[in-house]
Amino acid sequence: MSPIELEPRYSTKGLVGKGIKRLAKQELDSCLRKLLQGEIYNRELTERYEALVSFLKSPQCEKLRDVCEIYLSEGRQIIARIYFWHGRPKYQIKLS
């Protein structure tokens, strides 16, 4: 499974921000819609859905959320990659 990339942002006057947890939930909803539309046998999509469910339930979600908040408060742009290593959700942060 390829990593899931999320780009959290703070709200500004012209742009509504989205946190890491909200982005993960939106991605989860998108996967669920596709699965319900008949892509149930798509292995990549099923693994992506399971990965997002596991990530949102894990303590890693809160840790990533806290780290992203710190970097966003400093005005930095973030790309968070969520992946699984030995059955556990892991994350990697790319700053710019």
Taking only the tens place, the pLDDT of each residue in 20-52 is: 888 999 999 999 999 998 877 888 888 888 889
User: Residue 9 forms beta bridges with which residues?
Assistant: 18
User: Sorting pLDDT into bands at 50, 70 and 90, what band is 55?
Assistant: confident
Would you list the DSSP string of 37-68?
A: TT-TT-HHHHHHHHHHHHHHHSHHHHHHHHHH
Boundaries of domain holding 85: 4-95
- pLDDT: which is higher, 52 or 17: 52
Please count the helices (runs of H) and the strands (runs of E) in the chain: 3, 3
Look at the chain and report how many structural domains it folds into: 1
Q: What is the pLDDT of residue 12?
A: 58
